[in-house]
Structure 1
Amino acid sequence: MQVIKQEILPPKAEKIAKELTIHGDTRIDNYFWLNDRENPKVIEYLKEENDYNEKMTAHTKQFQHKLFEEMKARIKEDDTSVPYKLNGYWYYVRFETGKNYPIYARKKESLEAEEQILFDCNKMAEGHSYFKLTGISISPNNKLASFGIDTVSRRKYTIQVKNLETGEILPTKIETTTGSSTWANDNKTLFYTRKDEKTLRSDKIYQHILGEDPSKDMLVYHEKDETFNAYVYKSKSRKYIIIGSSSTMSDEYRILDADHPREEFKLFQKRERGVEYGIAHYKHHFYVLTNKDGATNFKLMKTPVENTTSNNWEEVIPHQKDVLIEDVDIFEHYLVLTERFQGLNRIRIMRWDEQEDYYLPFDNETYTAYTGNNPDFETDILRYGYNSLTTPASVIDFNMKTKESEVRKEQTVEDPTFQKENYISERIWATAEDGTKIPISLVYKKGLEKSGNNPVLQYAYGSYGHTTDPSFSTSRLSLLNRGFIFAISHVRGGEYLGRNWYEDGKLLQKKNTFTDFIDCSKFLIQEKYTSAKHLYAFGGSAGGMLMGGILNMAPQLYNGVIAAVPFVDVVTTMLDDSIPLTTGEYDEWGNPNNREYYEYMKSYSPYDNVIAQDYPNILVTTGFHDSQVQYWEPAKWVAKLRELKTDKNILLFHTNMEAGHGGASGRFEALKEVAEDYAFFLDLEGISE
């Protein structure tokens, strides 16, 4: 097999030196020319790489198909979500056998009532290789629905409105939006967010009046600071239209009585750098979740609706050093807090009259619990979700008054051989080079021995404070059943152990994310879970940057690595403020126009640090229309790796010419991409069925 592979020659990208100079430092970028998506030579190169990938993986095509069918067979095809009630209707989403896309439907008052189909995305997707519907918003009188559609995967949505009584889609088309919109209480005024055509930053909020020409829509807010994004929504109490504006480090809100949409928005509390806050309305107060005054893990405050500036904020739940408050749900009689303590989710329920204050009980170390869709204000029922690395996802309705639980749905695994008792999960702790303990969540099949010969797939993300919680996956069973251990490294840069965990993995501490992952790898090898010959790594987007980092820093630890839509050309991208998302990222990575950040960034940027050394087997994937990580970052990185690497290991690059950051849009099409990834790892292990 290896001999055949060597006969197929990989593409060679042309080298055209470009000098990039700043702070008196010059970088030579030989593959800068790949940035031009209109250049036929660029398209030709991407097609050559795709062709090479096809030839190199031809021997696994049958196996990929088998994996795809196996994963697809575990999914209940004719599936329905648990209905939720909003304003007199029960809403739900369902799938039909053999169909790729969801059907959105509702029933009036009772679940026995006749079904009304709002949107059949299978019909709407016909003729499109990519289709995404988002932002369904129902008018207060239940007669209209606004919605957003993207058929390119560039995250530029067109908003339209459907008359739910006649089924007619109105002629209104509002282009280049986020897809989300919200109705005022008059049933004819719609507020929505437009994106900048070039940078795709959400920067303008408009007011549209039904029946009028969208080109005459009134601009009600323009966010001029390029590090902020703007958005608009309605409070759960349905009393206020709220404009939010957020950056990594601070927030600002404006509020408007939803009964009076022609009036002006009122500033809630002006932005202060370093002060984050979020707001929720209840009766005569707004509740404010904030890190103000050094509350790193956030505290809850309240303020009267007529006096919202921070000098009026009163403390409700104080800051705690070891408990991160992640979210707040407000009901008529209850306040519900989602917390994180020692890495684990907690749900705290408190009555407004202070008669009760208690936690929902959870009992292991590798679970995920979260509050679900709770749009109804006047209810005692809290809907929450629960799953673990070994337990399929459940949707549970908990009566906060009687404390009775009803499991409304447990995810069906359409596999008669599946029993959750056959899998084991655990949480172990590696020690980082600076002495910090790094948690790892593991899952594997029962009976596994720590021989050092088990294949391990190690995953992490580690940026933006995003926490990868240990959750169940039906497709992952295809790896576990073939002897793989799946490991999530909860590295710094996420928020698994509170807000400081995030702060210690960003800006001038970013390298902690890479070294934590490497130290977890060393620990898994040391504890005989695996060896370098059987250790694999996977990460996507900012997690793909992590893969680029570990490949440069410790390539000898891994047999194979997949980097999906990887952010690898960190310095050049962060110096180009015309690229979508760049300016809003300065608080995450630093602004390289500042020399200190430039030098630090340059010291870890995967593309800038490719050197002549042996690298493991690598698969890189991207989408041509990706608006978050442009296709040329992985393209340039692969070209440079091909030029410099000194090994005979395989390096594959696959560009989905039809998709963006999220990959394929259909539920089964996306599984084909998972099958491609899994076949790559399994093939390296010599597993072919």
Structure 2
Amino acid sequence: MKVAATEIFAPQAKKIPVHLEKHGDVRTDNYFWMRERENPEVLDYLTKENMYNDQMTAHTKKLQEDLFQEVKARIKEDDSSVPYKLNGYWYITRFEKGKDYPIYSRKKESLDAPEEILFDVNEMAKGHDYYRLSGLSISPDNKLVSYAVDTVSRRKYTIYIKNLETGEIYPEKIKNTTGGATWANDNKTLFYARKDEETLRSDKIYKHKLGTRSKDDKLVFFETDDTFHTYVYKSKSRRYIIIGSDSTLTSEYRFIAADDPDGEIHLVQPRIRGVEYSIAHYRDCFYIMTNMDGATNFKLMKAPVHSPGMENWEEVIPHRKEVLLEDIDLFRDYLVVSERSDGLNKIHIRRWDGTDSYFLPFDNETYTAFTGANPDFDTEILRYTYNSLTTPTQVVDFNMRTREKEIKKELEVLGGKFQKENYISDRIWATAQDGTRVPITLVHRKGLEKDGSNPVLLYAYGSYGSTIDPYFSNVRLSLLDRGFIFAIAHVRGGEYLGRQWYDDGKLLKKKNTFSDFIDCTLHLINENYTSPEHMYASGGSAGGLLMGVVANWAPQLYKGIIATVPFVDVVTTMLDENIPLTTGEYDEWGNPNDPEFYFYMKSYSPYDNVSAQNYPNMLVTTGLHDSQVQYWEPAKWVAKLRELKTNSNKLLFHTNMEAGHGGASGRFEALREVAEEYAFLLDLEGITE
């Protein structure tokens, strides 16, 4: 007798209507109860969704494992960073074969000197499902290191101090910090930022004296405005401890002499709403990048350290309408300016004495270049990183005087199969609904025919002015080698085409981000790269919001969508000032306590706009301990999609019960999450191996 196959049923979450009223508008949330993190029913629901996901993907488990092993095999396991020199020591991060975590070490003066192990994170991580070491800070006398540990993935770090001469870890533990810390020049005073317990906003700067209890630490600065966060670091010149305070649109800086940590705190320039600036110290001046006086793409100013207020700012590099000033690096003889024009990274090198000025030469349209670790002030060597969609990452040392470059390292793609000549990258332009041209960078194998049959994975982020540059990925090769085109939509909301590109994709212009992505999709379809039967979309966090909107607005264009840690319950989250990050994001999304912003964000919020319609196949992932997008946003969204969607396409939801916003902590364990996503795509394409 033939036994019938067991039918797999999707979890059905219970409905407990909660009526949320604002501005006379009532929203009914049937799944509000999922916010109760400690509620056994919530954990039971997440567990059932994980079980359903396992059942629905059981036939791809071998493919997932094969993908994991394939990707892992391309990665050099016994790898190390390019050493950099700081204060008499060469610092190195390396990995050993078969181990998931880094080993931090250093060598005194010469790379031929004996290796001194600072931390073997593989040993430290034993017994932990999640382990993250962060914020290493060496004291000026090279004898102590402060470091921070998070074992939950909620980005609440505990700072410890280790004696590098004796190996002793001191008894003091500084809890609930951002992880970063910086030493004053007395080798015994440590400055750090502490977080609010509930909102996780970094709102206080403390100083800790070596050998004292953390509860006796002195409060140095308290950021009372709940739309700002604060942080602390040391200037590259090592002369000043800098305290920064930022919101989305406004910034403010203070400084303390590093030689006098108990001395006076000086204010650079009091905050002015809408004025952003950042500071770097050189000789007797602060160099200040700012958007003051309508400098949308920023300009460079300088002011004397003894009187750094705006009234004394003097222009060094003027504002340019077509060029975004992104960063500066200061050296004894050189000013290095990182800028962006027409979407492309440019690195401009200028001698302070005016005798030389030139750009580093880069020769295609789909590359990424940025300055790297340059902690040494007194050098003529600039370290920068270069890669493209087809060129593995290179770390380059460039002599700014002789213009000679030395590739210190190129990412090795193991296995012998990768040849960069087998791949083609390109930049094309879509036309948005309002006539704006939106760039798309893409990569695929040579020989591809534009016949509408190619699977395309289109990725975007599109928020906070964060630019997704075209970057090399040896992981992505597993898709390209199976016939996929990978594309990045440089939608408004990022800064790919300058600061105005960001301004045109936030607040009451946020919908441009979403419509740009859909228009990029239509362009790829209309140009015969692909068709809706082979079109896929992916995004995470704020990019997951983008995925939620396009799933509601244009579900017919996509065969499948991957949304990782998606921010999808926009209105409810932005109305809850106790949720981490909310108040600091009003200038990005708007404050829904204002009716205009409330109704605008409600009109696109994915959760509020799920409707009875067909939806693409979808894979949604989250982490139970996520501090940035709380797990309940995707959980509620999936439950509502299950309730209302009208077709039988797959809806898979996977919660990592040990991780947060960044996923798994181990070097290779994170690849299993990628393998899961790739197997989802390949399965929909009918590719089984």
TM over 0.5: yes
Q: Deviations over 1:157-216 (max 9, x none)?
A: 000000000111111100000011000000000000000000000000001000011100
Contact 1:394/1:409 (CA < 8 Å) preserved in 2? yes
- For 2:110 and 2:213, locate their aligned partners in 1 and report how far apart those are by CA, in whole Å: 38
**Which structure 2 residues correspond to residues 401-412 of structure 1 after superposition, within 5 A?**
401-412=401-412
2:258: which partner in 1? 258
Q: 1:20 offset after TM fit, Å? A: 0.2
- For 1:78 and 1:172, locate their aligned partners in 2 and report how far apart those are by CA, in whole Å: 34
1:620: which partner in 2? 620
2:641: which partner in 1? 641
Q: Deviations over 1:115-142 (max 9, x none)?
A: 0000110001000000001110000000
1:79: which partner in 2? 79
1:316: which partner in 2? 316
- For 1:600 and 1:333, locate their aligned partners in 2 and report how far apart those are by CA, in whole Å: 51
- For 1:304 and 1:262, locate their aligned partners in 2 and report how far apart those are by CA, in whole Å: 22
- For 1:307 and 1:13, locate their aligned partners in 2 and report how far apart those are by CA, in whole Å: 62
Q: Which amino acid aligns with 1:437?
A: R
Q: Which amino acid aligns with 1:414?
A: L
Contact 1:424/1:445 (CA < 8 Å) preserved in 2? yes
Contact 1:533/1:559 (CA < 8 Å) preserved in 2? yes
Q: Which amino acid aligns with 2:268?
A: F
1:189: which partner in 2? 189
Q: Which amino acid aligns with 1:384?
A: Y
Q: 1:5 offset after TM fit, Å? A: 9.8
Pick closer, same or farther for the CA change 1:346–1:255 going to 2, 3 Å.
Answer: same
- For 1:6 and 1:49, locate their aligned partners in 2 and report how far apart those are by CA, in whole Å: 17
Q: 1:356 offset after TM fit, Å? A: 0.6
2:203: which partner in 1? 203
Q: Does 1:552 align with 2:552?
A: yes
Q: What secondary structure is seen at the aligned counterpart in 1 of 2:378?
A: coil
Q: 1:265 offset after TM fit, Å? A: 1.0
**Which structure 2 residues correspond to residues 123-134 of structure 1 after superposition, within 5 A?**
123-134=123-134
- For 1:129 and 1:42, locate their aligned partners in 2 and report how far apart those are by CA, in whole Å: 21
- For 2:76 and 2:41, locate their aligned partners in 1 and report how far apart those are by CA, in whole Å: 44
Q: 1:6 offset after TM fit, Å? A: 9.4
Q: What secondary structure is seen at the aligned counterpart in 1 of 2:162?
A: strand
- For 1:561 and 1:215, locate their aligned partners in 2 and report how far apart those are by CA, in whole Å: 48
Q: What secondary structure is seen at the aligned counterpart in 2 of 1:673?
A: helix
2:541: which partner in 1? 541
Q: Deviations over 1:429-451 (max 9, x none)?
A: 00000000000000000000001
- For 1:265 and 1:447, locate their aligned partners in 2 and report how far apart those are by CA, in whole Å: 63
Q: Deviations over 1:539-597 (max 9, x none)?
A: 00000000000000000000000000000000000000000000000000000000000
2:428: which partner in 1? 428
Q: Which amino acid aligns with 1:13?
A: A
- For 1:264 and 1:668, locate their aligned partners in 2 and report how far apart those are by CA, in whole Å: 47
- For 1:375 and 1:5, locate their aligned partners in 2 and report how far apart those are by CA, in whole Å: 63
- For 2:186 and 2:418, locate their aligned partners in 1 and report how far apart those are by CA, in whole Å: 52
- For 2:242 and 2:504, locate their aligned partners in 1 and report how far apart those are by CA, in whole Å: 32
**Which structure 2 residues correspond to residues 257-406 of structure 1 after superposition, within 5 A?**
257-406=257-406
- For 2:610 and 2:62, locate their aligned partners in 1 and report how far apart those are by CA, in whole Å: 34
Q: What secondary structure is seen at the aligned counterpart in 1 of 2:271?
A: coil
1:34: which partner in 2? 34
1:447: which partner in 2? 447
Q: 1:264 offset after TM fit, Å? A: 2.3
- For 2:401 and 2:441, locate their aligned partners in 1 and report how far apart those are by CA, in whole Å: 34
Q: What secondary structure is seen at the aligned counterpart in 2 of 1:90?
A: strand
**Which structure 2 residues correspond to residues 516-665 of structure 1 after superposition, within 5 A?**
516-665=516-665
1:43: which partner in 2? 43
- For 1:382 and 1:306, locate their aligned partners in 2 and report how far apart those are by CA, in whole Å: 30
Q: Which amino acid aligns with 1:429?
A: W
The 4+ residue runs of structure 1 with deviation greater than 6 A are none
Structure 1 gap ranges (5+)? none
Q: What secondary structure is seen at the aligned counterpart in 2 of 1:549?
A: helix
Contact 1:226/1:584 (CA < 8 Å) preserved in 2? yes
- For 2:479 and 2:107, locate their aligned partners in 1 and report how far apart those are by CA, in whole Å: 40
Contact 1:107/1:115 (CA < 8 Å) preserved in 2? yes
Q: What secondary structure is seen at the aligned counterpart in 1 of 2:111?
A: coil
**Which structure 2 residues correspond to residues 148-187 of structure 1 after superposition, within 5 A?**
148-187=148-187
- For 1:225 and 1:357, locate their aligned partners in 2 and report how far apart those are by CA, in whole Å: 42
Q: What secondary structure is seen at the aligned counterpart in 2 of 1:45?
A: helix
Q: 1:688 offset after TM fit, Å? A: 0.7
**Which structure 2 residues correspond to residues 668-683 of structure 1 after superposition, within 5 A?**
668-683=668-683
Q: Deviations over 1:96-120 (max 9, x none)?
A: 0010000000000000000000011
Query: Relative to structure 2, which stretch is displaced further, 239-248 or 6-15?
Result: 6-15
- For 2:564 and 2:443, locate their aligned partners in 1 and report how far apart those are by CA, in whole Å: 22
Q: Which amino acid aligns with 2:30?
A: N
1:499: which partner in 2? 499
Q: Which amino acid aligns with 1:673?
A: E
Q: What secondary structure is seen at the aligned counterpart in 1 of 2:508?
A: helix
Aligned-pair identity in percent equals 71
Contact 1:570/1:605 (CA < 8 Å) preserved in 2? yes
1:11: which partner in 2? 11
- For 1:684 and 1:77, locate their aligned partners in 2 and report how far apart those are by CA, in whole Å: 31
Q: What secondary structure is seen at the aligned counterpart in 2 of 1:337?
A: strand
Contact 1:459/1:537 (CA < 8 Å) preserved in 2? yes
- For 1:497 and 1:119, locate their aligned partners in 2 and report how far apart those are by CA, in whole Å: 41
Q: Which amino acid aligns with 1:127?
A: G
- For 1:434 and 1:679, locate their aligned partners in 2 and report how far apart those are by CA, in whole Å: 37
Q: Deviations over 1:339-382 (max 9, x none)?
A: 00000000000000000110000000000000000000000000
Q: 1:338 offset after TM fit, Å? A: 0.4
**Which structure 2 residues correspond to residues 480-495 of structure 1 after superposition, within 5 A?**
480-495=480-495
Q: Which amino acid aligns with 2:278?
A: G
Q: Which amino acid aligns with 1:26?
A: V
Contact 1:627/1:660 (CA < 8 Å) preserved in 2? yes
- For 2:14 and 2:457, locate their aligned partners in 1 and report how far apart those are by CA, in whole Å: 34
- For 1:134 and 1:471, locate their aligned partners in 2 and report how far apart those are by CA, in whole Å: 24
Contact 1:153/1:626 (CA < 8 Å) preserved in 2? yes
- For 2:6 and 2:510, locate their aligned partners in 1 and report how far apart those are by CA, in whole Å: 38
Q: What secondary structure is seen at the aligned counterpart in 2 of 1:336?
A: strand
Q: Deviations over 1:291-339 (max 9, x none)?
A: 0000000000000010100000000000000000000000000000000
Contact 1:5/1:56 (CA < 8 Å) preserved in 2? no
- For 2:27 and 2:202, locate their aligned partners in 1 and report how far apart those are by CA, in whole Å: 32
- For 1:19 and 1:543, locate their aligned partners in 2 and report how far apart those are by CA, in whole Å: 28
Instruction: Compute the TM-score of the two structures, normalised by the length of structure 1.
Output: 0.99
- For 1:417 and 1:50, locate their aligned partners in 2 and report how far apart those are by CA, in whole Å: 36
- For 2:64 and 2:169, locate their aligned partners in 1 and report how far apart those are by CA, in whole Å: 40
Instruction: Compute the TM-score of the two structures, normalised by the length of structure 2.
Output: 0.99
Q: 1:7 offset after TM fit, Å? A: 2.4
1:457: which partner in 2? 457
Number of aligned residue pairs? 687
- For 2:687 and 2:264, locate their aligned partners in 1 and report how far apart those are by CA, in whole Å: 64
Q: Which amino acid aligns with 1:172?
A: E
- For 2:676 and 2:667, locate their aligned partners in 1 and report how far apart those are by CA, in whole Å: 15
Q: Deviations over 1:192-242 (max 9, x none)?
A: 000000000000000100001110000000000000000000000000000
- For 1:433 and 1:48, locate their aligned partners in 2 and report how far apart those are by CA, in whole Å: 42
Q: 1:421 offset after TM fit, Å? A: 0.3
Q: 1:415 offset after TM fit, Å? A: 2.0
Q: What secondary structure is seen at the aligned counterpart in 1 of 2:221?
A: strand
Structure 2 gap ranges (5+)? none
2:510: which partner in 1? 510
- For 2:414 and 2:99, locate their aligned partners in 1 and report how far apart those are by CA, in whole Å: 17
- For 2:451 and 2:638, locate their aligned partners in 1 and report how far apart those are by CA, in whole Å: 34
Task: Give the alignment's Cα RMSD to 1 decimal.
Answer: 0.9
- For 2:552 and 2:414, locate their aligned partners in 1 and report how far apart those are by CA, in whole Å: 41
- For 1:80 and 1:669, locate their aligned partners in 2 and report how far apart those are by CA, in whole Å: 19
Pick closer, same or farther for the CA change 1:505–1:5 going to 2, 3 Å.
Answer: farther
Q: What secondary structure is seen at the aligned counterpart in 1 of 2:122?
A: helix
Q: What secondary structure is seen at the aligned counterpart in 2 of 1:608?
A: helix
- For 2:134 and 2:618, locate their aligned partners in 1 and report how far apart those are by CA, in whole Å: 34
Q: What secondary structure is seen at the aligned counterpart in 1 of 2:538?
A: strand
Q: 1:417 offset after TM fit, Å? A: 1.1
